[in-house]
């Protein structure tokens, strides 16, 4: 029997709708997660791009920080894009005073790493784990993974070597926005992780 995976998009702030639409296109049942009760009903979570300082603050106000940390520790698959990558990084550089992350990924991530002059750009990335076709990646004030710890693996880098996609077990973190460039393979990989967990 084929079951429809029920997954969440953290819907506190950011480009929630684009992720929800892409996941629905891929056949998932999508729940917008704003409360712990909603988190408890999903088998995986997408943390969207937006502003990590705001997502951090709202997740604490809404009582979601601890439940999300617990779910990550329990092995729940998570896809974090851009601000979402920041949120699942164990270490953050250039956050604002007091900024916290959920953590989980054994990486050090630098916020706003591309600076003001190059706030947005696009690039073709080679991601061997996703097949031969290049990934068209849109970077919007994105972070960069400065250091990849022993538990995590690099999935994609820019031509200059800067790491922009990492994976660790069921956690997937990427600096860019596949949901706005029509790239479904990261979300499919996330859904495969959810399905594999049963």
Q: Is 129 a catalytic residue?
A: no
Q: Which among 82, 167, 183, 187 is annotated as catalytic?
A: 82
> With binding defined as CB under 6 A, does residue 67 bind ligand GLN?
no
Q: How many residues at the interface with ligand GLN, by CB under 6 A?
A: 12
Do 24 and 68 touch, CB atoms closer than 8 A?
no
Q: Is 177 a catalytic residue?
A: yes
String of contacts with ligand GLN for each residue 21-50, x by CB under 6 A: ----------------------------xx
> With binding defined as CB under 6 A, does residue 19 bind ligand GLN?
no
CB nearer ligand GLN, residue 6 or residue 108: 108
Beta bridge partners of 101: none
> With binding defined as CB under 6 A, does residue 112 bind ligand GLN?
yes
To ligand GLN, the closest distance from the beta carbon of 49 in angstroms equals 3
> With binding defined as CB under 6 A, does residue 140 bind ligand GLN?
yes
Q: Which stretch binds ligand GLN (CB under 6 A): 20-28, 59-67, 78-86, 182-190?
A: 78-86
HEC letters along the chain: CCCCCEEEEECCCCCHHHHHHHHHHCCCEEEEECCHHHHCCCCCEEECCCCHHHHHHHHHHCCCHHHHHHHHHCCCCEEEECHHHHHCEEEEECCCCCCCCCCCEEEEEECCCCCCCCCEEEEEECCHHHCCCCEEEEEECCCEEEEECCCCEEEEECCCCCEEEEEECCEEEECCCCCCCCCCHHHHHHHHHHHHHC
To ligand GLN, the closest distance from the beta carbon of 130 in angstroms equals 21
Q: Is 82 a catalytic residue?
A: yes
> With binding defined as CB under 6 A, does residue 86 bind ligand GLN?
yes
Point out which residues bind ligand GLN (CB under 6 A): 49-52, 82-83, 86, 111-112, 140-142
């Amino acid at each position: 029997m084929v079951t429809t995976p029920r997954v969440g998009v953290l819907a506190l702030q950011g480009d929630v709708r684009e992720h929800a639409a892409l996941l629905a296109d891929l056949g998932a049942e999508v729940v917008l997660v704003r409360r712990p009760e909603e988190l408890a009903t999903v088998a995986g979570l997408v943390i969207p791009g937006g502003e990590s300082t705001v997502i951090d603050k709202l997740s604490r106000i809404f009582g979601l920080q601890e439940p999300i940390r617990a779910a990550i520790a329990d092995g729940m698959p998570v896809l974090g894009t851009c601000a979402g990558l920041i949120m699942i990084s164990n270490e953050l550089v250039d956050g604002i005073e007091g900024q916290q992350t959920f953590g989980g990924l054994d990486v050090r991530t630098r916020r706003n790493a591309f600076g003001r002059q190059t706030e947005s750009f696009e690039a073709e990335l080679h991601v061997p784990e996703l097949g031969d076709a290049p990934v068209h990646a849109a970077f919007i004030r994105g972070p960069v993974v400065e250091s990849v710890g022993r538990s995590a693996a690099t999935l994609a880098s820019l031509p200059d070597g800067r790491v922009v996609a990492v994976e660790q077990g069921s956690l997937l973190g990427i600096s860019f926005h596949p949901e706005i460039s029509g790239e479904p393979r990261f979300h499919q990989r996330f859904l495969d992780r959810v399905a594999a967990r049963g």
